[in-house]
Amino acid sequence: MSTDRPESTDSRAVEPEQPIGPHDEVIGRRRGMFGISGSGDTSGYGRLVHEIALPGGTAPPYGGYFDTVVDLLRTALSTGAGFDAAIEKVIVDRDELTLHVRRDHLVAVARALRDEPALCFELCLGVSGVHYPDETGRELHAVYHLNSITHGRRLRLEVSAPDTDPHIPSLYCVYPTCDWHERETYDFFGIRFDGHPSLTRITMPDDWRGHPQRKDYPLGGIPVEYKGARIPPPDERRTYS
């Protein structure tokens, strides 16, 4: 079976970091594996320094079925606010199509993608949260992975919100399968999905302070007891220099 990527004979081999392209947006620089400061570094990557860059907008033609999807969505949104008002930018990166949606138009875009027969993205595979503390005014991102079983296509919707106003409309009304995924994203990142029927923590205790997958969350924590052994929190373990 042919593949686009050559096979590696070394199971330890990893892909090199993607170089920063001319249209990419550099939003900051990270030190260490997690970019956290003020806590013990137990990763062994304390001296790692690299720039954080996000892919910039892609100009058409996009290739493959991506042009078809964008053109069909543009037509479907023409009776409402319009494509340009709803979509911030279109990105084709790593052979994936991502539509950056303005949060006020998220529900309308998702409904058009689901209901337009020529698009028919009838399945939402999940919701992921991302925290970019250096992207001022757009620190919190939610990414929805959509699949068209009918047409055999995939795309992603990405929407951002500022730290000071972490509200994004819930897509539960369009894709009920988002229920637990949005709760998990709220639990770990603090994004509040307006309109969700029961936005409560799903993994952490109800009285837990903070959101553990944010980059500003301290590495320190509570000790873990397992089979009689007491494992100290990360910031009390050994450090590497």
For position 230, what pLDDT does the model report?
A: 78
d(CA 147, CA 150): 9
Peptide bond into 55 cis (omega under 30): no
Domain boundaries, the chain: 17-54, 58-216
List the end-to-end C-alpha distance of the chain, in Å, as a whole number: 46
Tokens of 92: 């084709």
Provide the mean pLDDT of the chain. 84
**Rounded percentage of the chain residues whose pLDDT exceeds 70:** 78
Checking if the pLDDT of 124 tops 50, the result is yes
Identity of residue 48: L
Residues 113 and 107 sit within 8 Å (Cβ to Cβ): no
pLDDT of residue 134: 86
pLDDT score, position 22? 60
Please state whether beta strands 140-148 and 123-131 pair in parallel, antiparallel, or not at all (unpaired).
Answer: antiparallel
Residue 145 has pLDDT above 80, yes or no: yes
> Is it the case that residue 84 has pLDDT exceeding 80?
yes
pLDDT at 215 over 80: yes
Tell me: pLDDT of 4 over 90: no
> Which residue would you say has higher pLDDT here, 95 or 55?
95
DSSP string spanning the chain? Answer: ---SS---S-TT--PPPPPPPTT-EEEEEEETTT---SS---SS-TT-EEEEEE----PSP--TTHHHHHHHHHHHTTTTT-HHHHEEEEEEETTEEEEEE-GGGHHHHHHHHHH-TTT---EEEEEEEEE-TTSTT--EEEEEEEEETTTTEEEEEEEEE-TTS-EEE--TTT-TTHHHHHHHHHHHH--EEET-TT---SSS-TT--S-TTSTTS-S----EEETTEEEPPGGGS----
Short-list 179, 128, 180, 137, CA closest to 160: 137
Give the pair of three-digit tokens for residue 126. Answer: 């999940």
What pLDDT, on a 0 to 100 scale, did the predictor assign at position 209? 85
Task: Categorize the per-residue pLDDT at 14 as very low, low, confident or very high, splitting at 50, 70 and 90.
Answer: very low
Of the CATH numbers 1.10.8.590, 3.30.460.80, 3.10.20.30, 3.60.150.10, which one belongs to the domain with range 58-216?
3.30.460.80
Q: Where does the pLDDT of residue 54 fall: very low under 50, low under 70, confident under 90, or very high at 90 and above? A: confident
Is the distance from CB of 201 to CB of 186 less than 8 angstroms?
yes
* 119 compared with 16, residue with greater pLDDT: 119
pLDDT for residue 9:
36
φ and ψ at residue 67, rounded to 5 degrees = -65, -40
